[in-house]
Amino acid sequence: MVTTLFFMWGFLTCLNDILVPHLKAIFDLNYAQVMLIQFCFFSAYFVFSIPAGKIIERVGYKVTMVGGLFTMGVGALLFIPAASVPSFPLFLAALIILAAGITALQVSANPYVAVLGPARSASSRLNLTQAFNSLGTTVAPYFGGLLILGAAAPKGTDELRAMSAQALRAYRLQEASSVKLPYLVIAIALITLGIVIAKFKLPHIPEAEGGHAVEAGAHDSVWKHRNLVLGAIAIFTYVGAEVSIGSFLVNYMNLPNIGNLKPEIAAKYLSFYWGGAMVGRFIGSAILQKVPTRIVLGFNALVAAVLVCTSMLTVGHVAMWAMLLIGVFNSIMFPSIFTLGIEGLGPLTGEASGLLVMAIVGGAILPELQGVLADHVGLHYAFVLPVICYLYILFFAAKGQPSRARLSA
């Protein structure tokens, strides 16, 4: 049942990658401006993680999950008035509310799954549930490409700037309307799922909530745990790299020297990126039963960095497929970093989880930085930013262990 939540937030997060080229064309935005979509969406994790953690302490994980789903439903419904105006700031406001609900799900569901069984298999277990998150990200580009980009007829920058104010408004109204039906269906699905979860009996696990703060060691500071602090930075860089690549892929494959693909066709190829993460998580869940998490994480980070460099140094299908293949190696990173980050924290696990989810704000900041880079040096070479991120994750895999003293304690 909890796995359905992973699917829904994966689906909605990836749908942003379709909104980026769609709203860029409608509102004639540059890369830095359109990356405000990801900035607003992922900034919500930073703003709402601590409040979500406090809510879990008061009402428990189940009520928090249900509240998160209803909040997401409200955010999805707000896409309808945003498209009716149409207004880019209103789209951003709807995304913030949607992301606030997803934050509540992330803060409650990730630690819940991690402590749902033996500690040694936590990484494998979280990878398995995250695989269904990736199923959502795999389906979303097809759904969005067909219903949003497929229904659109974008015009070039010169055509837009030649239009009268009245004609431009009519064009934007027509193009923006393609998001109404998809997000209405999503809103109905979210509210229905919230009702189902509310009626479903989930097992009570105190360790997954914040109500265990009175236990021994609970007054220790999370900032004293090296693996958590380095892990939070690793989550920041991982989400930033993954979102940066996913956000720019449709525009990247549209470049004449890369794929020369129309946006609606490129959106379908985007599913290979997110689908690779899904396949990688199913495979990774099995591998992590036998191979230490740090070794698998370090290997994947190194290969991902090499693939980005390969794409930057080549053109055509080699550059395109090297970037798409990164999804396979992204697969196990988030759940692996998450479980390594909370390793050995005991009663601090809930607070540590909130800190790690806050670090998802990397998905807001790094794509925006890459957008600025793309506007100045071109999209092809702006991917140097994800390379730096993957090299840091390699460092975390090698050096981010908790101290022996704290583990033995």
Residue at 131 is within a domain: yes
357, 305 contact by CB (below 8 A): no
C-alpha to C-alpha distance for 160 and 154, rounded to whole angstroms: 9
Q: Tell me, rounded to whole angstroms, the distance of Cα 38 from its chain centroid.
A: 9
Residue at 208 is within a domain: no
Looking at residue 78, its pLDDT comes to: 96
Residue at 90 is within a domain: yes
38, 24 contact by CB (below 8 A): no
Looking at residue 211, its pLDDT comes to: 44
Taking phi first (over 0 means left), then psi (-120 to 50 degrees means alpha), and beta for anything else, what does residue 244 get?
alpha
How many structural domains compose the chain? 1
Residue at 14 is within a domain: yes
Residue at 213 is within a domain: no
Looking at residue 151, its pLDDT comes to: 64
- The structure tokens listed for 80 are 């309808």
Residue at 278 is within a domain: yes
129, 50 contact by CB (below 8 A): no
Over its length of 409 residues, how does the chain's per-residue pLDDT go in tens digits? 778 888 888 899 888 888 988 898 888 889 999 999 999 999 998 999 888 878 877 887 788 889 999 999 999 999 999 999 999 999 999 999 999 999 988 888 877 776 667 767 777 777 778 778 888 888 888 888 888 877 666 666 677 777 888 888 888 888 889 899 999 999 999 999 999 988 888 766 655 454 443 343 445 677 888 899 999 999 999 999 999 999 999 999 999 999 999 888 888 898 899 889 888 988 988 898 889 999 999 999 999 999 999 999 999 999 999 999 999 999 899 989 988 998 877 777 767 877 888 999 999 999 999 999 999 999 999 999 999 999 999 999 999 887 654 444 4
Residue at 50 is within a domain: yes
The parent domain of residue 31 ranges over 2-202+219-408
On the question of a cis peptide bond just before residue 21, with omega within 30 degrees of 0, the verdict is no
Residue at 214 is within a domain: no
Q: What is the CATH number of the domain that holds 115?
A: 1.20.1250.20
Looking at residue 43, its pLDDT comes to: 93
C-alpha to C-alpha distance for 365 and 51, rounded to whole angstroms: 21
CB neighbour class for 154 (10 Å; exposed up to 12, middle 13-18, buried from 19)? middle
The residue among 359, 349, 402 whose CA lies nearest residue 108 is 349
**What angle (nearest 5°) sits at the alpha carbon of residue 298, between those of residues 294 and 301?**
140
